[in-house]
């Protein structure tokens, strides 16, 4: 199976990266850390660009593209650490009025009964009755938790896949940050990337990114629940372990609030609880292996 992107897909990724780079660069990211909010202007701009209506048929006012293209744009959103319930709003396009255009922010009750951006959302899918605010490890993702009886039991496969795509994007960002730091930071008169231990960390970062990318892209093509489960596990690992390794490459400065490394790690931790827990994906894969062994 070939995963080489065609010109249209490359242009799509490039356009989304340019849009997010212009509207949600590092300054905006750090401002969001200090005062978390959903930028409604940016949300509508994403709607105008077709971010939320990407998979809607053209006859219904959408772009008319497919799941592979949605994965590509969500990868870019994950790379930018763009906050907000992007996946929930995307999946609500064509169902909830205003979701496709970015006029309506939609959130959902996710894995573990967590609800992102409940106070900022216009519409909540799932039963959020009795939700209480909880302290989020990620300063850019306010969280509520619903009582156990209200929790979603079956995670939406598309939500899981789009979350995996975001995790892939964050893993890419961590890898890029680690390599850039290894090239420019010097010790003993040499870039630290010249030292074998740092080389190995950067190589492992890249390997995990590319393995996760292949799995996520494959799942976008097949939309098979088993493929989605595998993609989710590999993308979670790439994002979480990648951010940890990036932090190690940065050394002591990686632990400071001013560095962005912790934002990648914290977002990856929170996403790992969205759209079903990791154990849900592990159960899907275990069930498939058991069926094959019979």
Q: What is the pLDDT of residues 239-287, one digit of tens each?
A: 999 999 999 999 988 888 888 999 999 999 999 988 666 677 777 877 8
Contact predicate 236/80, CB 8 Å: no
Distance CA 21, CA 73 (A): 13
Rounded Cα–Cα distance for residues 72 and 59 (Å) = 23
- Backbone φ/ψ region at 98: left (φ over 0), alpha (ψ -120 to 50), beta: left
Q: What is the pLDDT of residue 83?
A: 96
CA distance 172 to 176: 6
Query: Which pLDDT band holds residue 41 (cuts at 50, 70, 90)?
Result: very high
Give yes or no for a contact between 102 and 45, defined as CB atoms under 8 angstroms apart: yes
Q: Which tens digit of pLDDT belongs to each residue from 77-99?
A: 999 999 999 999 999 999 999 99
- Please state, in angstroms and rounded to a whole number, the distance separating the CA atoms of residues 116 and 85: 6
- Checking if the pLDDT of 20 tops 90, the result is yes
Torsional class of 276: left (φ above 0), alpha (ψ -120 to 50), beta (otherwise)? left
pLDDT at 38: 94
Q: What is the pLDDT of residue 155?
A: 72
Find the length of the chain.
Answer: 294
Tell me the per-residue pLDDT of 180-230, one tens digit each, with 9 for 90 and over.
999 998 888 888 888 999 999 999 999 999 999 999 999 999 999 999 999
What number of other Cβ atoms are within 10 A of residue 102's Cβ? 23
Calpha distance 229→192 (Å, rounded): 37
Residue 145 phi, psi (nearest 5) = -125, 135
Q: Per-residue b/e over 12-47, b at no fewer than 16 CB within 10 Å?
A: bbeebbebbeeebeeebbeebbeebebbeebbeebb
Paired residues of 114 in beta bridges: 145
Cβ distance 224 to 179 under 8 Å? no
Q: What is the pLDDT of residues 49-77, one digit of tens each?
A: 999 999 999 999 999 999 999 999 999 99
DSSP string across 133-191: EE--SSTT--EEE--GGGS-SS--HHHHHHHHHHHHHHHHHHHHHHHHHHHH-EETTEE
Cα(45)–Cα(181) distance, rounded to whole angstroms? 32
The helix (run of H) or strand (run of E) holding residue 108 is strand 106-108
| pTM (whole model) above 0.85 | yes
Over range 5-31, report the average pLDDT.
94
Assigned token pair, 278:
């990791």
Contact 161, 91 (CB under 8 A): no
């Amino acid at each position: 199976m070939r995963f080489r992107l065609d010109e249209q897909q490359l242009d799509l990724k490039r356009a989304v990266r340019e849009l997010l780079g212009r509207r949600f660069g590092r300054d905006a990211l750090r401002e969001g850390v200090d005062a978390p909010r959903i930028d409604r202007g940016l949300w509508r701009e994403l709607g105008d660009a077709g971010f939320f209506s990407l998979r809607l048929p053209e006859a219904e006012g959408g772009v008319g593209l497919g799941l592979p293209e949605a994965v590509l744009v969500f990868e870019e959103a994950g790379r930018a650490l763009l906050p907000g319930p992007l996946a929930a709003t995307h999946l609500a396009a064509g169902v909830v009025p205003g979701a496709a255009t970015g006029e309506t922010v939609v959130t959902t009750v996710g894995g573990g009964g967590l609800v992102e951006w409940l106070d900022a959302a216009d519409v909540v899918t799932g039963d959020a009755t009795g939700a209480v605010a909880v302290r989020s490890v990620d300063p850019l993702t306010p969280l509520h938790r619903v009582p156990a009886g209200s929790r979603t039991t079956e995670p939406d496969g598309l939500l899981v896949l789009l979350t995996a795509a975001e995790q892939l994007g964050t893993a890419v960002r961590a890898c890029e940050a680690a390599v850039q730091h290894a090239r420019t930071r010097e010790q003993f008169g040499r870039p630290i990337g010249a030292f074998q231990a740092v080389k190995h960390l950067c190589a492992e970062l890249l390997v995990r990114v590319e393995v996760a990318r292949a799995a996520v892209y494959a799942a976008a093509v097949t939309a098979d629940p088993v493929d989605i489960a595998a993609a989710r596990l590999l993308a979670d690992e790439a994002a979480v372990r990648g951010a940890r390794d990036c932090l190690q490459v940065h050394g002591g400065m990686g632990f400071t609030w001013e560095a962005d490394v912790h934002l990648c790690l914290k977002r990856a931790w929170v996403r790992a609880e969205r759209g079903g827990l990791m154990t849900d994906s592990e159960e899907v894969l275990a069930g498939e292996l058991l069926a094959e062994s019979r």
